[in-house]
């Protein structure tokens, strides 16, 4: 038999197995899940092995002489010390390195690209609101201004949401609700096309029920 036909059957059986979970957990789903976990864990390990260990660490250090990468290898080996009970504590060093690096890097990234850029965007938008454009735009931008400020009030931790402040925070939650509703409504329909693709595969490529 043609390998493509075997492949199609295999793919179809796995597809049905995953879908059977919708009815309830069962033997068929458990087998598919087990295959999924085993195959995918292996796949990722292989990808890491060739892409990071071989291409970055081995080629980088041995062939390109980028000895600075040896630091990473040393930290990586320290990580493995976890396997040896007595000196397992040394694995905390690479962990500390990673947490420190993430905290330091992400702090700046979030500060510049999230906070600064969004404040800049809001100020720019609302500034332009009075620049003589149509009523539609002016209303839109005033809404952006009110929404951003009241939304921030909602996130304010060190003041009780009571009285006027509470009212403003309430308006803030309304804006958050609009945001959530919009994202939800936005995604609902596009998720249908994902499933359409799978059903099309089953009906057309596998069962050949549809031309």
Partner 1 sequence: MKRQIPMLILSAVGTLLVVSVFIPSARHWQEDASLYFDIIAVFAFFLGGGNLIRVHTEKVNRKSTGWIYSVVTLLGFGIMLVTGLFKIGNPNGIAGDLSQTGSYFQLLFQYVMSPLNSTMYALLAFYVASASYRAFRAKNTEATILLVAAFVILLGRTALGVLLTNWIPAQLSVLQIPNLAIWIMNAPNLAGQRAIMIGISLGVISMSLRLLLGIERSYLGGDN
Partner 2 sequence: MKKFLPWIILVALIIVVALLPKPLEISPTVSVIVTVLLGLALTGVLVMTMRGHLIGRRTVFLFIGASLTLPFFMNFQMPIKVAPEVQELYDAIAKLPPGSKVLAAFDYDPPSAPELQPQAEAFMAYAFKHDLKVIIMGLWPQGPQQADMAIQKVLQQPAIRAKNIKYGVDYVNLGFQSGNEFVIQRMGSSFRGMFPRDIYNTDCDKIPILNGVDNFSNIDFVFNLSSGYPGTVEWVQIAVDRYGVKLGAGNTAVQAPSVYPYLSSHKLTGLAGGMSGAWQFEQATGEPGVASTYVLPQTFSHMVVIGFIIIGNVALFVGYRKSRQEGV
Partner 3 sequence: MLALLRIAKLVVFISSSLFVISLLPTHSVHSQDASPSGSNLGPITVRAHDTDNDAGGSVTVEWDDPGYEKMSGFAGFLIWRTNTLTGTSDSVEVTPFGTHSYDDRSVSDDSTYSYLVAALVNSERVMSAPSMQVRSAKQWFDSRLTWVLILGLIICGAVIYFIESAKRGTKLFLRRIAGLEAIDEAVGRATEMGRPILFVAGIQDMDDVQTIAGLTILGSIARTVAEYDTKINMPVRASLVMTAARETIKHAYVTAGRPDAYNDDMVHYVTDEQFGFVAAVDGIMVRERPAACFFLGAFFAESLIMAETGNSIGAIQVAGTAMPAQLPFFVAACDYTLIGEELFAASAYLSGEPRQLGSLKGADVGKAIAMIVILVGVIATTIASAWNSESMLWIENLLRKMFSTG
| Subset of 151-190 contacting partner 1 (CB under 8 A) | 151-152, 154-155, 172-189
CB of 66 to partner 1, least distance (A): 9
DSSP letters spanning 172-195: HHHHHHHHHHHHHHHHHHHHHHHH
- Please name which of 62, 60, 97 lies closest in space to residue 77, comparing C-alpha atoms: 97
Cα separations in angstroms, 130 against 125, 126, 138, 172, 185: 9, 7, 7, 23, 31
The residue (of 158 and 193) whose beta carbon lies closer to partner 2 is 193
Q: Of the candidates 5, 59, 87, 112, which one interacts with partner 3 according to CB under 8 A?
A: 112
Both tokens assigned to 137: 């735009």
How far is 67 from 57, CA to CA, in rounded Å?
A: 9
Q: Does 22 bind partner 2 (CB under 8 A)?
A: yes
Q: What angle, 0 to 180 degrees and rounded to 10, lies between the N-to-C axes of helices 117-128 and 135-155?
A: 150
Q: How far apart are CA 33 and CA 46, in angstroms?
A: 20
Q: Kindly identify the residues of this chain, within the stretch 93-122, that bind partner 1 according to CB under 8 A.
A: 93-101, 103-108, 110-111, 114-115, 118-119, 121-122
Binding segment toward partner 2, per CB under 8 A, in 30-38, 40-48, 139-147, 187-195: 187-195
The b/e string for 73-104 (b: 16+ C-beta within 10 A; e otherwise) is eebeebbebeeeeeeeeebeebeeeeeeeeee
- Judged by CB under 8 A, how many residues of this single chain contact partner 1? 117
Decide: 172 and 151 in contact? Cβ < 8 Å.
yes
In the complex, the smallest distance separating the C-beta of residue 198 from partner 3, rounded to whole angstroms, is 13
Positions that interact with partner 2 (CB under 8 A) = 22-23, 26, 186, 188-190, 192-197, 199-200, 203, 207-211
Positions that interact with partner 3 (CB under 8 A) = 18, 21, 24-25, 29-30, 32-33, 36-37, 39-41, 43-45, 79, 82, 91-92, 95, 98-99, 101-103, 106-108, 110-113, 115-117, 119-120, 122-124, 126-127, 129-131, 145, 148-149, 152-153, 155-161, 176, 179-181, 183-184, 187
């Amino acid at each position: 038999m043609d390998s493509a036909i075997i492949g199609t059957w295999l793919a179809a059986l796995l597809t049905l197995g995953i879908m059977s979970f919708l009815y309830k957990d069962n033997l068929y789903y458990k087998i598919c899940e087990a295959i999924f976990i085993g195959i995918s864990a292996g796949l990722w390990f292989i990808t890491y092995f060739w892409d990071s260990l071989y291409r970055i660490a081995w080629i980088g250090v041995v062939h390109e002489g980028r000895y600075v990468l040896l630091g990473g290898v040393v930290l990586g080996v320290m990580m493995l010390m976890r396997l040896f009970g007595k000196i397992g504590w040394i694995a905390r060093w690479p962990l500390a390195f990673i947490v420190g690096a993430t905290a330091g890097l992400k702090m700046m990234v979030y500060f510049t690209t999230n906070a600064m850029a969004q404040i800049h965007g809001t100020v720019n938008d609302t500034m332009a609101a009075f620049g003589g454009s149509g009523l539609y735009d002016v209303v839109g931008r005033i809404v952006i201004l009110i929404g951003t400020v009241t939304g921030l009030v909602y996130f304010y931790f060190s003041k009780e949401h009571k009285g006027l402040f509470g009212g403003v925070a309430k308006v803030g939650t309304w804006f958050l609700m609009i945001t959530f509703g919009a994202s939800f409504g936005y995604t609902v329909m596009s998720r249908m096309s994902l499933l359409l693709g799978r059903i099309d595969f089953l009906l057309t490529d596998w069962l050949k029920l549809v031309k």
